[in-house]
Chain A
Amino acid sequence: IWMTQSPRSLSVTPGEPASISCRSSQGLLIYLDWYLQKPGQSPRLLIHSTSSRASGVPDRFSGSGSGTDFTLTISRVEPEDVGVYYCMQAKQTPFAFGPGTTVNI
């Protein structure tokens, strides 16, 4: 299963919304997850199972989608949200990550 993301780079204004699209080459049911990797850090799980926020993740992050098209939305971007966002399909092995979307302020 191949994953694509758009845009690949996103410049955002604090307080404004932002969204990232993820598309898969096959239907994923609910098995689409989102990760954020800040510079020099390990990735952190944000959203699993399309729309479930991981523990401790602020509610400004939300996930949606179905089939092959999924979206991560940040309702109001905060300065600490900068980093690279990856979607990942977990429907079947080999699990695959999207190429990443770099978000900067």
Chain B
Amino acid sequence: QVQLQESGPGLVKPSQTLSLTCSVSGGSIDINNYYWTWIRQPAGKGLEWIGRIYNGGETDYNPSLNSRASISVDASKKQFSLRLTSVTAADTAVYFCATCRIPGRTDVFDIWGQGTMVTVSS
């Protein structure tokens, strides 16, 4: 059973870079063969798809983030990461990592991490 766990600083200063890591555990899994996604949720609000990485390095991002997001993967550590540059208070949210283990689909999130709260404040 694949499990995901987010980690990273809970507090980031405005204009700095937010960096989060999602660790993948459970089962014998080749991280390069799956799609790995980041989603966020401001307090009391809805869900926003940030982006994904797949095939070992191909990426898609939400244009709403104005090219501030980048996702990378470290297969040797079974981790994938999110970097979000030039953060503002609007980036304060719970950040989730997620993946799809449903045969025939790559874009359904049936496995989620527990989420990590990131606050942007000086």
Contacts and interface: CB of A to CB of B under 8 A. Distances in A.
A9 B65 CA distance: 29
Contacts of B108: 33, 45, 48-49, 90
Contact of B102 (A43, A48, A86, A98): A48
Contacts of A11: none
Contact of A86 (B47, B52, B105): B47
Contact of B49 (A37, A42, A49, A96): A96
A42 B110 contact: no
A31 B107 contact: yes
Interface in A17-46: 31, 33, 35, 37, 42-45
A42 B96 CA distance: 8
B112 interface: yes
Interface in A81-105: 86, 88, 90, 93-100
Interface residues of A, number: 23
Interface in B53-86: 60-64
Given A97-B47, A97-B48, A54 B110 contact: yes
B27 interface: no
A93 B60 CA distance: 7
Contact of A42 (B46, B52, B64, B115): B115
B58 to A, nearest CB: 11
Given A42-B115, A43-B112, A97-B47, 14 more contacts: A33-B108, A43-B96, A45-B110, A48-B110, A54-B102, A88-B47, A90-B107, A93-B49, A94-B61, A96-B49, A97-B46, A97-B48, A97-B49, A100-B46
Top 4 closest pairs, chain A to chain B, by CB = A90-B107, A42-B112, A94-B62, A95-B49
